[in-house]
Structure 1
Amino acid sequence: MSARLEDPEELLFRQVPSAFLVDGRLSSQAFNPSRKDEQRLSVSRGSLTTAQAAYDHHTLRLGHQSLGTWAVTVGEVVQVGLHATGDPVMSPPAPTPDPAHAFIDFTGLSLGQTKNKATRLAELARARGRLWPPSGGETPARDDASNERDADGSPRSEPSAQAFALAALESERAELERLIAACAADDVSRLGLEARLDEVRRALERAAAP
């Protein structure tokens, strides 16, 4: 069920591909809906997910590219003359559920008005900084990293892509469990969260199977 979001402090996470950074700077294109968006710019609700989980869902589950998670608040969206609406994606019919999905509504605006509001949202998100991965980038390697060794004395290898994927699933599982615990029993979003948690648990079981 779609409903206009009211909490002015709620963060709305936006995934930004590399094409939307110009000289390393977040451009207005990051908040400018494309033709396929039909004036509804997809975001993820901060009350139902985290910056990291939203990034993992976008990249690992949906297979899209993103340089990271930026955000504006519901209040900032209202401040520029727009509103945000909750729009949970449920499974079925969608193959990949996303109970945290929402959109910023640009319906009825001209191209010039859309660009102006997208520019203002990008400025607000830029001031807040990238939320995931942390703005400083990945954790810096230790100075003695090249000398690190495993228990058997062999050089320590870098984590594999599978290890990173498993870590992301574990992180998402923990976050989903936290969100479900915080939901009321009759909260409509709880069903989507529980369905996603079942999927994550099955994926972890498959990965652990010999």
Structure 2
Amino acid sequence: MTGADVELVDGEQLMINEGEFAYRQVTQHMVDGDRIATTAFGPSSADQDMPSYSRSDEVSPQESRDWHTQNAKSPSLGVWGLTVGEVIESGRHVVDDSQRPLGDARKRAPGHCFVDFRRLSKPQKRELRAQLYFHATARGELATMATPADGELFV
């Protein structure tokens, strides 16, 4: 995996601040028993090799969790973070696509970005997911609280 194969489209830009975090929402399908699955840090079949994260320069872990829970199909169970530097160290890039045009019915999280898995083979994807998993789990879950449902003040 090398950095030379990144190809950006209109509305995408590389994130270069190695200390900036990319926040990943962990949902029920990303959990295996009482542990996060390594697949949590890579793309699902719907992601087109661009798994969603949120930029720490734009939102807090709590804000990213709240937005996800209020707008996605599955609520966030917690937030885990990777630094841009950790992703680069793992041989890939984080891409801010917050200015990329969207279809009419689609929503994008504030500060949306993705780890670029495009053009990787299946073994390369597994290797990258594992590396990102180890970085994120070494740090641990980021402090957030469950998002109250509409009309609730407290969970």
How would you bin the TM-score normalised by the shorter chain? 0.7 to 0.9
Within 5 A, what are the aligned runs for 1:1-210? 1-88=11-98, 93=104, 96-133=107-144, 162-164=151-153
Residue type matched to 1:16 in 2? V
Change beyond 3 A, Cα 1:47–1:111: same
Q: Distance in 1 between matches of 2:118 and 2:40?
A: 17
Deviation of 1:44 (Å): 0.3
Q: Distance in 1 between matches of 2:47 and 2:107?
A: 18
The Cα RMSD (Å) is 2.5
- 2:3 corresponds to: none
Normalized against structure 1, the TM-score is what?
Answer: 0.61
- Which blocks of at least 5 consecutive residues in structure 1 are unaligned? 139-158, 168-210
Q: Distance in 2 between matches of 1:110 and 1:92?
A: 28
Q: Secondary structure at the match of 1:127?
A: helix
Q: Distance in 2 between matches of 1:108 and 1:11?
A: 24
Q: Distance in 2 between matches of 1:160 and 1:29?
A: 27
Normalized against structure 2, the TM-score is what?
Answer: 0.81
Q: Distance in 2 between matches of 1:40 and 1:162?
A: 33
Residue type matched to 1:64 in 2? S
Among all aligned residue pairs of Structure 1 and Structure 2, give the percentage whose two residues are the same amino acid: 31
Q: Deviations over 1:96-115 (max 9, x none)?
A: 45330001101111111101
Alignment length, in residue pairs?
Answer: 143
Higher helix share: 1
- Which blocks of at least 5 consecutive residues in structure 2 are unaligned? 1-10
Runs ≥4 residues deviating over 4 A: 89-92
Residue type matched to 1:24 in 2? D
Larger relative contact order (Cα-Cα within 8 Å, sequence gap ≥ 6): 2
Residue type matched to 2:40 in 1? A
